[in-house]
Amino acid sequence: MTSETPHRRPGELVFALLLVVFSVAAFWQAYGISGFSSKIAPGVFPMIASGVMVISGLKVLISTARLPKQDAGAPGFLSEILTGRHLVVIGLVFGYVLSMPFVGFVASSALFLFCAFQFLWRKNPLLTLALTATTLTLIYLVFREVFQVVLPQGTLIRGLF
């Protein structure tokens, strides 16, 4: 259990607001399924769930708004919550996941691991390359050979990897 935060975290109010907006949109969609036509219609339970979300989301928003703001010198959203490091890693992951169907598991993972290791670990590129090769070989052997998982093969260079 974490104790109550004395100050509002950067971006917390926007997040709480987004929770409410999302919940209201979800409720609207849930209402659209079958409205109030019957008590056992497929839309009733989604309406109950999204209704709970709207109420609890509003409660979260109110209590967040009541929290005192951070001090003037405190780190902001980009230096505390979504740092440059997060943005780069999330960007790399998006690139990785989106490229996997095209270039296949081996090539995309090799590229992702190398870039991510190099960015986060900041060692000699040759060392990073060796680490990438070792870990990828291990992952490939364990999952392809032991677990017999069918790994994605790229549409671009199918047959190669």
Partner 1 sequence: MLEALGFFATAWTDPWLIFLVATGTLTGIYIGAIPGLSVTMATSILISFTFKWDVNEALALISGVFFGGVYGGSRTAILLNIPGAPSAIATALEGYPLAKRGEAGEAIGLTTVMSVFGGFVGIIALALFAPVISEFALMFQSRDYLLLGVIGILLVGTLSGESFAKGAFAGALGVLIGMVGLDPMTAEGRFTFGSIHLLGGISYVAAMIGLFGVAEALVQLKTLNTPAIKQKIDRIIPKFSDVKKYFWLAIRASGIGTIIGALPGTGGDIAALLAYDDAKRSTKNPERPFGTGNREGLVAPEAANNAAVGGAHIPMLTLGIPGDAVTAVIIGALFIHGLKPGPLLLVETPHLFWFIVGTLTLANIFLLIFGLTGIRLFTKIVECPKAVLIPLIIVLSSVGTYAIQNNPVDVYWMLLFGVVGYFMKTYGLEVGPVILGVILGPMMDSNYRRTMLRARSDFGDFIWGFISNPISLILTVALLFMLLSQTKLWSYLRSRISAGRT
Q: By CB under 8 A, name the binding residues for partner 1.
A: 1-2, 4-5, 9, 11-12, 15-16, 19, 23, 26, 29-30, 33-34, 38-40, 42-46, 48-50, 52-53, 56-57, 59-60, 63, 81, 83, 85-86, 89-90, 93-94, 96-97, 100-101, 105, 109, 112-113, 116-117, 120-122, 131, 135, 139, 143, 147-152
d(CA 161, CA 106): 6
Neighbouring C-alpha atoms within 13 Å toward the C-beta of 48: 6
Q: 59 or 69, CB closer to partner 1?
A: 59
Nearer to partner 1, 56 or 160 (CB): 56
Nearest approach, Cβ of residue 110 and partner 1 (Å): 10
DSSP characters for 64-108? HHHSPPPPTTS--HHHHTS-HHHHHHHHHHHHHHHHHHHHHHHHH
Q: Where are the beta strands (DSSP E) in the chain?
A: none
